[in-house]
Amino acid sequence: MTPTKVRVMDTTLRDGSHAIRHRFTKEQVHNIVKALDEAGVPVIEISHGDGLAGSSMQYGMSLVDEFELIEEAAKTSKNAKIASLLLPGIGTRKELKQAKDCGISMVRIATQCSEADISEQHFGLAKELGLETVGFLMMAHMLSPEDLAKQAKLMESYGADIVYIVDSAGTMMPQDVTARVKALTGELKVPIGYHAHNNIGLAIGNSLAAVEAGAACIDASTSGLGAGSGNTQTEVLVAALSKVGCETGIDLFKIMDAAEYIVQPMMEYPMTINRDALTIGYTGLYSTFLMHAKKAGEKFNIDPREILLELSRRKAVAGQEDWILDVAAELANR
């Protein structure tokens, strides 16, 4: 049964961090949070693109310490919840406690879709801290709907208040989304969410398919700002959901203005489906690999698509960004 109300979580200040090389300033955070909050966005996610403690040579250095940005977001928001992403193995209990002290009221705990078991202690601490908890099953296309539901059940048992199906590669077709949402809604008592990337142009369509199949929470990013060719566009999603009778509580005109006048002027490039992003979606690779593959391609004078295809052949997943330079070097020496 299609929900009549959908909770939209905006990831501009987290997933969008990838697209601007993790260079958000406090002023930009203030302006974006203020605009999204005034538009009625209920949840705003902010952290390094790879989650708490992601700032590193491997994942990309942040221009401004993420905890300063979280504090600015929490200080600016009057109604929206402030959330952060945490990937066990990158972020630790220490960073989670610090983020709570800086003002988050929700944590989204992300694992590879087959590794939910590594998140138990993080959910436990989050509940101790009084945070709303979201389970984030990345690269969800790599498991069958039935096996994905088993992983989701683990997160639910650890204390997840919501569990997300995450199409990190932007590779799913609508029927893939429908099958996975139905599998999870059939097994879990908590709400199901869906996070899309637009690498093959299906972010909005897949998000609508998720809602039709029973998802109650959808991720989006204002102007689509995000890894790869970007995420579901918040302003477009709000309009599309309204047309199918779903309430979001977000003012359509205000979120349109936030996209056009606040976010777009600070974007380094528009979110388009170029050949490299399409390769990510076609091969089913993690969307954040795109920027790293481009840099490696320039360094070794190799078409980034060749690097991406080889990474796909090796079934690379999130956390294996260190492979990218190795693969590029090997290809250059062939």
Does 195 belong to an annotated binding site?
Answer: yes
Identify whether the C-beta of residue 226 lies closer than 8 Å to the C-beta of residue 15.
Answer: yes
Does 276 belong to an annotated binding site?
Answer: no
Strand ranges (E), the chain: 7-13, 43-46, 81-86, 106-112, 132-138, 162-166, 192-195, 217-220
Task: For residue 233, give both structure tokens.
Answer: 């566009």
- Residues ≥6 apart with Cβ < 8 Å to 334: none
Does 122 belong to an annotated binding site?
Answer: no
Phi, psi of 332 (to 5 degrees): -65, -25
Distance between start and end Cα atoms, the chain: 54
Identify whether the C-beta of residue 10 lies closer than 8 Å to the C-beta of residue 42.
Answer: no
Report the candidate in 233, 232, 231, 236 with the shortest Cα–Cα distance to residue 252.
236
Angle at the Cα of 96 from the Cα atoms of 95 and 99, rounded to 5 degrees = 85
Does 14 belong to an annotated binding site?
Answer: yes
Strand partners, 134: 108, 162
Whole-Å CA distances, 9 to 23, 62, 156, 222, 302: 21, 22, 19, 10, 37
Q: List the catalytic residue out of 18, 48, 122, 141.
A: 18
Active site residue 18: yes
- Residues marked active site are found at 18
Known binding positions for Mn(2+): 15, 195, 197
Known binding positions for substrate: 14-15, 168, 195, 286
Known binding positions: 14-15, 168, 195, 197, 286
